[in-house]
């Protein structure tokens, strides 16, 4: 009989323990996250490429700087992807060996300066714990990116003499002059 009482006591205690640790079963209501209406809109424009950034920091200026840095990081990814495609076009068109092309075509692109951006829109709000959250939209001129690539290529005499007759380079120059 004693073993049966101990067994029942363990089962009841264990059940009470599991029920107590289970927490509430009430569903959690999702919190709405604030995002400005203009943020991350796909903006079509013939002249500019738009990039977005956001940041949450303890000071307003740090939050705004962080959002700007986030947008510039997004822009850098775009520019890198753009150069990668351009490099492939040059390699295919000029029928260069891959290793040779890496040295010839990549050299001026590695020194590509960061493009000047201008802020189109920015919004900063206060959030929990007296923190600031900033959202930003920046624009970079498509012509400025292309012109910078052309200028870099022209600075390298060997590369310029190799690429100036290519169709890809002619198309680049046309986008800057039009």
Mean pLDDT by 10 residues, the chain (178 residues): 57 56 64 84 81 94 94 82 74 66 56 68 92 93 79 76 77 77
Tell me if 60 is assigned to some domain.
yes
**What is the DSSP code string of 60-125?**
HHHHHHHHHHHHHHHHHHHHHHHHHHHHHHHHHHHT--HHHHHHHHHHHHHTPPPPP-EEEEEEEE
Residue 54 falls inside a structural domain: yes
131: domain CATH number is 3.10.28.20
Number of domains in the chain: 1
- Give me the pLDDT at residue 166, please: 77
Q: How many CB atoms lie within 10 A of CB 153?
A: 22
In this structure, is residue 30 part of a structural domain? Answer: no
Tell me if the pTM is above 0.85: no
pLDDT, residue 112, reads 47
Give Cβ neighbours of residue 127 (< 8 Å, ≥ 6 apart).
34, 56, 133
Domain assignment present for 79 = yes
Which range marks the domain in which residue 59 is found? 45-177
Domain assignment present for 11: no
pLDDT of residue 17: 55
* Rounded CA separation 51/72 (Å): 7
Using CA atoms, how far apart are residues 65 and 124, in angstroms rounded to an integer? Answer: 11
Domain assignment present for 141: yes
């Amino acid at each position: 009989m004693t073993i049966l009482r101990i067994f029942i006591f363990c089962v009841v205690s264990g059940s009470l323990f599991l029920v107590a640790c289970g927490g509430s079963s009430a569903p959690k209501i999702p919190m709405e996250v604030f995002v400005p209406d203009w943020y991350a809109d796909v903006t079509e424009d013939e002249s500019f490429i738009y990039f977005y950034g956001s940041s949450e920091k303890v000071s307003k200026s740090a939050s705004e700087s962080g959002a700007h840095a986030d947008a510039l990081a997004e822009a850098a990814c775009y520019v890198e992807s753009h150069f990668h495609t351009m490099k492939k076009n040059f390699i295919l068109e000029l029928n260069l060996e891959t290793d040779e092309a890496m040295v010839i075509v990549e050299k001026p692109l590695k020194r590509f300066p960061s493009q000047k951006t201008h802020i189109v829109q920015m919004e900063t709000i206060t959030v929990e714990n007296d923190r600031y959250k900033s959202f930003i939209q920046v624009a970079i001129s498509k012509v400025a990116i292309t012109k910078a690539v052309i200028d870099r290529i022209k600075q390298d005499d060997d590369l310029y003499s190799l690429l100036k007759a290519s169709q890809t380079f002619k198309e680049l120059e046309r986008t800057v002059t039009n």
